[in-house]
Chain A
Amino acid sequence: MTETISQTNENDTSIFSCLHCKLSPISKATGSATFTLNDSLCTCLINGPGELRQQQDAINRLQVDITFQARPGNNNTNSTSTKDKLIEQWLETLVRSTVLMEYYPRSQINIVMYEEQNLSGEATILACLCNTLCLTMLDANLPMKYAFAAVPIVQHPTKGLLSLPKTKDELASTSYFVFVFEITLNDILATHASGDFDMKILEQAISIAQPIARQIFQFYRQELEKRLT
């Protein structure tokens, strides 16, 4: 198994060809965004700080309520599977740590995420969801400590570590890593890595992912500038 860092003919423009975004597709919501990463598409909408419905829970902080709805029809039932719940909980910690919760006591925000299309495996959809979430929060003008971006990396048995993998490569890979970077120091905010690897490969993966995260932040900036002009 080759463990070379594959610089797969990546110049700046080819990263941006994998990413597409549309801000505020849903006009009634406080903030919404649609984001495409290779073959995965997600939409997310936020209904801004509003009245708290339940009596319990933090009275001096914001209450966050995330719902994730996967593509109906993949599994035979309509209810959210345990995999989706895992994603929901993980994203909830992400929101809790970025949004300045002390600014909105006794309020609640509702976040709904839809997975519209996912042809590849778990890494791309997780990264797509994180990025959609960040763009939606930026679109809704929620006060955040930092912006974050997620990068999917897979370990292919022959090609080594690939970042932002194409569908074919991802379906053939053995392990995957999703790193969520934050914009200030480019440190890792959250990870989900699964498969069979050791710390050297993890280190390599992080070093590949960091410059890509910077390019994703550049992409956010471009999109927001387009909107403000």
Chain B
Amino acid sequence: MSIDNYEELQKFIDLNEHYRTYLDEHNNTRPDGRKFHENRSIQILKKFLQHSYGSSMIRFGNTTVICSITGQLAKPSLKSLRSGFIQTVVLLPRTQAWSTYGRRQQIINENLTLSQHLLDIIYKSKLINLEDLCIEEGKWVWCLQIDFQCLNNDGNLFDSCLLALNVALHHTYFPTVKIDPDTQKPLVYTKELKHFQYNQQQEPLCCTIAVYEYEQEYKYLIDPTLEEENIAKCILHYVLLKNDQICLIHKTSGAPFSIDKFHQCYSFAREYILELRRKLNQ
């Protein structure tokens, strides 16, 4: 990280001070030129990995996330003979470990919390029904492995991972599996692909809001970058479904909120997610 000019030096020493001086000079814009409610440019790439059943790459400004969906055959657990398994794994780049964060354990923790959030959303919003993953009851089920590789972390991983998941699921094709009646072994026909059935009605999308305190009031920074996440007092995640029902609200501690602030953030989240859906359906 170069600290050649005065600005970089100030950022390195005290990020908070740098933000405050920037907001003092330019009213209502963040250092990367956006207004508080603007999001970064989004780029979507579909179906570009040849070995996965479904894949997508999402870019929110500098944050790049690749989602890849693969499946493995497994025997179902005795508790529920018809349901398959879903496993979400988020991998953050180890190359960023020493320069920006300073502590590798923190990154590993962030991976795990994000993985758990995504799994919770899949279950709670009934995006993928575990019964759909069944091939033959009691014998073979699909174990869905959803991997998120983050190539560059510039903040707002939650939104990008969830959008990547939606895009990837849209274009996932599974090979057909038939059970050989003689040997009871599964035969996988890799050329006969069929579209993965999932609950397309729900499209959980997330809005991350970083709350920053400036001049005694809260500024809501939508789609925060990594620096903004570090200086934020608290971070809010709103996950909304297609019919504007809320699937998940996760607020970390730091800035006490009253009910009207939740309403305010909800309205921001709705507009933002509306735009994301438009992008998704293009």
Contacts and interface: CB of A to CB of B under 8 A. Distances in A.
Interface of A: 54, 56-57, 82-83, 85-86, 88-90, 93-94, 96-98, 148, 175, 180, 182, 185, 187-199, 202-203, 206-207
Contacts, number: 102
Contacts of B124: 175, 194-196
A191 B251 contact: yes
B112 A96 contact: no
B247 A188 contact: no
B103 interface: yes
Contact of B256 (A89, A93, A185): A185
Given A180-B253, A198-B246, 19 more contacts: A54-B103, A57-B103, A85-B113, A86-B117, A89-B109, A90-B253, A94-B252, A94-B253, A175-B124, A187-B257, A188-B256, A189-B253, A192-B251, A193-B249, A194-B247, A195-B247, A196-B125, A196-B241, A202-B262
B119 interface: yes
Interface residues of B, number: 34
A157 B112 CA distance: 31
A88 B113 CA distance: 9
Contacts of A85: 109, 112-113, 116
Provide the main secondary structure of the chain B interface. mixed
Interface in B199-252: 233-234, 241, 244-252
A182 B102 contact: no
A193 B120 CA distance: 11
Interface in B119-142: 119-120, 124-125
Which among A85, A93, A98 has the greatest number of chain B C-beta atoms within 10 A?
A85
